[in-house]
Amino acid sequence: MTQNSRMMLLLHEIFNRNLAIDQQYLLVALGALTNLGKIDFSTLEMNGEVFEPAQLIDMATGFSRETVRPYHIQNGAAIIPVHGSLTHRFGSLRPSSGMTGYDGIRVNIKMAEDDPEVNGIVYDINSPGGSVDGLFDLTDWAKAFVSKPTRAIVDPQACSAAQLFASVADEVTLSRTDRMGSIGAVSAHTDVSEMMKGRGQKITLIAAGAKKVEGNPYEALSEDVYNSRKASLEELRVMFVQTLVDNRGCDFDALMATEAAVLNANQAVELKLADKIMSPADSLEEFIDQINPTKTGVIPMPKPDQNQNASSDAPELDANAIRAEATKAERDRITGIVMSEEGQCRAASALKIALNTNMSAEEGVSLLSTLPVSATLESTAETTPQTTDFASVMGSHDPQVPSDDGASLDSEQGQVSKNPLIAAHMALSK
Is 282 within a domain?
yes
Is 116 within a domain?
yes
Q: How far apart are CA 392 and CA 54, in angstroms?
A: 98
What lies within 8 Å, CB to CB, of 151 at 6+ separation is 120, 121, 122, 123, 169, 170, 171, 172, 173, 283, 287
| pLDDT score of 78 | 97
Do 365 and 418 fall within a single domain?
yes
Q: How far apart are CA 139 and CA 86, in angstroms?
A: 13
Is 302 within a domain?
no
Is 386 within a domain?
yes
State the burial class of residue 312 (Cβ atoms within 10 Å of its Cβ: 0-12, 13-18, 19+): exposed
Number of domains in the chain: 3
CATH of the domain at 283: 3.90.226.10
Do 85 and 121 fall within a single domain?
yes
DSSP bridge partners of 417: 407
Closest CA relative to residue 262, chosen from 172, 165, 180, 163: 180
| pLDDT score of 399 | 40
Domain boundary among 66, 96, 116: 66
Do 128 and 272 fall within a single domain?
yes
Cα separation values, 69 from 89, 108, 114, Å: 19, 8, 11
Do 133 and 254 fall within a single domain?
yes
| pLDDT score of 426 | 53
Closest CA relative to residue 220, chosen from 195, 190, 265: 190
Q: Positive or negative CA dihedral for 393, 394, 396, 397?
A: negative
Average pLDDT, the chain: 80
| pLDDT score of 58 | 77
Q: Residue 35 belongs to what domain range?
A: 3-66
Do 137 and 251 fall within a single domain?
yes
Do 265 and 332 fall within a single domain?
no
Low-confidence ranges of the chain (pLDDT < 50): 295-298, 300-312, 314, 375-414, 417-418, 425
Do 44 and 76 fall within a single domain?
no
Closest CA relative to residue 138, chosen from 127, 146, 149: 146
DSSP bridge partners of 157: 179
3-state secondary structure of 85: strand
pLDDT tens, residue by residue, 51-88: 888 887 777 676 655 556 889 999 999 999 999 999 99
What lies within 8 Å, CB to CB, of 313 at 6+ separation is none
Is 307 within a domain?
no
3-state secondary structure of 282: helix
Q: How far apart are CA 120 and CA 292, in angstroms?
A: 9
Q: Answer yes or no: are the C-beta atoms of 350 and 368 closer than 8 Å.
A: yes
| pLDDT score of 181 | 97
State the burial class of residue 79 (Cβ atoms within 10 Å of its Cβ: 0-12, 13-18, 19+): middle
Is 134 within a domain?
yes
Do 180 and 279 fall within a single domain?
yes
Bridge-based pairing state of the strands 179-181 and 262-263: antiparallel
156 preceded by cis ω (within 30°)?
yes
Is 209 within a domain?
no
Do 350 and 286 fall within a single domain?
no
DSSP single-letter state for residue 329: H
Cα 166 to chain center, whole Å?
13
3-state secondary structure of 27: helix
